[in-house]
């Protein structure tokens, strides 16, 4: 089959060979989900170039702020294939290639599209991890009428009756970077808990590769089977669950301080610290929701347990009265956050979060009890 497709590709007069490069995951957080590039060999002009939608300038003024606000501009770059590959050789990351079976006219259309897209006035786009990235940009070229058109169909890469959400899939990729997974799950809202379609999941390079491997036009395959052109390092084992260890320690210290009289000072310190941290988290959730363009951070129900007003309560929790109503509302909101999880409106990492939520429940309960007693006295 591969020989047949290659022979067909060589038979046209375009002198072009076009392929998809799928790059494996790496150790750095920005390498967690892999990468894609389009390789174009022009035998007439003796060029071998890779078009890369995942380029950004990390040296621009205000880069960090633009990244945090979701306003960072990525752009389409292109360069020699050996230079592209060297990065993956150095990082020991796997690279696979799938060669397209296209007519000469279709190859010319793809080549012309990428060349035009790489022009200074066209190359920039506002990156969005889930909905507009290096994989989705390539994914959306192929069904274009100028290439394969409406007869092109990606293969199914999701199991029948799949209920996999965006959150589910990124958590699987974060199997090693557990602290990053913990923080990202707090900051990402309910929008990423919707069930993905077959098209949606191809925002990840691995699934674009798999969808393309099964893609057809009039029942005919459009690419060769994935061929490994660079072996990567073996998959590394998962790290110990640091977030679970830390939240469990917090729970032990907080609950011990609240219910053992000799550790009362510890209870006060841990309660204040827990309220301050969850309050600051709530403020960060609000900033990411309303102050940035990150679509995945909108409609975030983490605010039900990470109350921004906890920052104030951390300094006023020992006043004589008035906190009982706040504590009661906070308890009800915490319970509501669990219902949101149970109803699959927005999922949380319940194993790692349970000790933290239990600690908060005990803190609010203690504040309510003490405030009521002081009010009666």
Whether 220 and 257 map to the same domain: the answer is: no
Whether 223 and 306 map to the same domain: the answer is: no
Strands 216-217 and 47-55: unpaired
Do the domain assignments include residue 50? yes
61 — pLDDT class (breaks 50, 70, 90): low
Do the domain assignments include residue 69? yes
Do the domain assignments include residue 211? yes
Whether 305 and 341 map to the same domain: the answer is: yes
Give the contacts of 126 (CB within 8 A, at least 6 positions apart).
70, 71, 72, 73, 74, 132, 293
Whether 140 and 202 map to the same domain: the answer is: yes
Query: In whole numbers, what is the pLDDT of the chain averaged over residues?
Result: 90
Whether 38 and 144 map to the same domain: the answer is: yes
Distance separating alpha carbons of residues 55 and 77, to the nearest angstrom? 6
**What is the average per-residue pLDDT within 315-336?**
89
Cα 252 from chain centre: 32
Contact between residue 279 and residue 334 where contact means Cβ atoms under 8 Å apart: no
- The yes-or-no verdict on residue 1 having pLDDT over 50 is no
- The yes-or-no verdict on residue 153 having pLDDT over 80 is yes
Do the domain assignments include residue 163? no
Whether 152 and 59 map to the same domain: the answer is: yes
pLDDT digits (tens, 9 = 90+) for 295-311: 899 999 999 999 999 99
**What is the average per-residue pLDDT within 3-29?**
74
Do the domain assignments include residue 30? yes
- The yes-or-no verdict on residue 31 having pLDDT over 80 is yes
3-state SS track over 78-93:
EEEHHHHHHHHHHHCC
Give the contacts of 183 (CB within 8 A, at least 6 positions apart).
none
Instruction: Tell me which residue range forms the domain holding 354.
Output: 242-376
Whether 203 and 305 map to the same domain: the answer is: no
- At 334, list the tokens: 């915490």
Distance separating alpha carbons of residues 142 and 150, to the nearest angstrom? 10
Distance separating alpha carbons of residues 306 and 190, to the nearest angstrom? 15
Whether 212 and 281 map to the same domain: the answer is: no
Do the domain assignments include residue 169? no
pLDDT digits (tens, 9 = 90+) for 176-235: 889 999 999 999 999 999 999 999 999 999 999 999 999 999 889 999 999 999 998 888
Q: Which of 343, 293, 97 is nearest to 209 (CA)?
A: 97
Prediction pTM value? 0.87
Whether 210 and 265 map to the same domain: the answer is: no
Whether 209 and 358 map to the same domain: the answer is: no
Do the domain assignments include residue 110? yes
Whether 74 and 127 map to the same domain: the answer is: yes
């Amino acid at each position: 089959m591969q020989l047949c497709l290659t022979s067909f590709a060589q038979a046209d007069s375009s002198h072009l060979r076009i392929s998809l490069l799928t790059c494996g995951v790496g150790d750095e957080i920005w390498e967690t989900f892999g990468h894609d590039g389009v390789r174009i060999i022009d035998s007439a002009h003796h060029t071998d170039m890779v078009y890369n939608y995942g380029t950004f300038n990390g040296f621009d003024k205000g880069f960090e702020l633009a990244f945090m606000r979701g306003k960072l501009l990525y752009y389409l770059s292109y360069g020699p294939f050996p230079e592209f590959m060297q990065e993956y050789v150095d990082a020991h990351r796997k690279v696979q290639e799938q060669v397209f079976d296209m007519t000469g006219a279709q190859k010319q259309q793809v080549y012309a599209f990428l060349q035009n897209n790489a022009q200074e006035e066209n190359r920039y786009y506002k990156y969005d991890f889930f909905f507009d990235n290096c994989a989705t940009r390539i994914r959306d070229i192929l069904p274009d009428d100028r290439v394969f058109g409406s007869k092109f169909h990606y293969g199914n890469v999701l199991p029948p009756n799949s209920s996999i959400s965006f959150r589910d899939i990124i958590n699987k990729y974060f199997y090693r970077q557990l602290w990053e997974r913990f923080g990202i799950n707090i900051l990402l809202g309910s929008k990423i808990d919707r069930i993905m379609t077959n098209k949606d999941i191809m925002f990840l390079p691995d699934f674009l590769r798999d969808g393309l491997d099964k893609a057809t036009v009039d029942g005919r395959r459009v690419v060769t089977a994935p061929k490994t052109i660079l072996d990567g390092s073996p998959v590394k084992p998962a790290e110990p669950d640091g977030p679970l260890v830390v939240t469990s320690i917090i729970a032990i210290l907080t609950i011990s301080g609240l219910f053992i009289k000799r550790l009362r000072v510890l209870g006060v310190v841990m309660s204040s610290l827990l309220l301050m941290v969850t309050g600051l988290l709530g403020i960060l959730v609000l900033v990411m929701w309303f102050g940035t363009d990150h679509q995945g951070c909108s409609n975030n129900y983490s605010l039900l347990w990470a109350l921004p007003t906890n920052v104030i309560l951390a300094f006023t929790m020992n006043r004589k009265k008035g906190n009982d109503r706040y504590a009661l509302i906070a308890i009800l909101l915490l319970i509501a956050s669990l219902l949101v999880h149970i109803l699959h409106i927005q999922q949380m990492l319940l194993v790692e979060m349970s000790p933290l939520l239990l600690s908060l429940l005990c803190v609010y309960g203690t504040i309510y009890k003490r405030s009521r007693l002081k009010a009666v006295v």
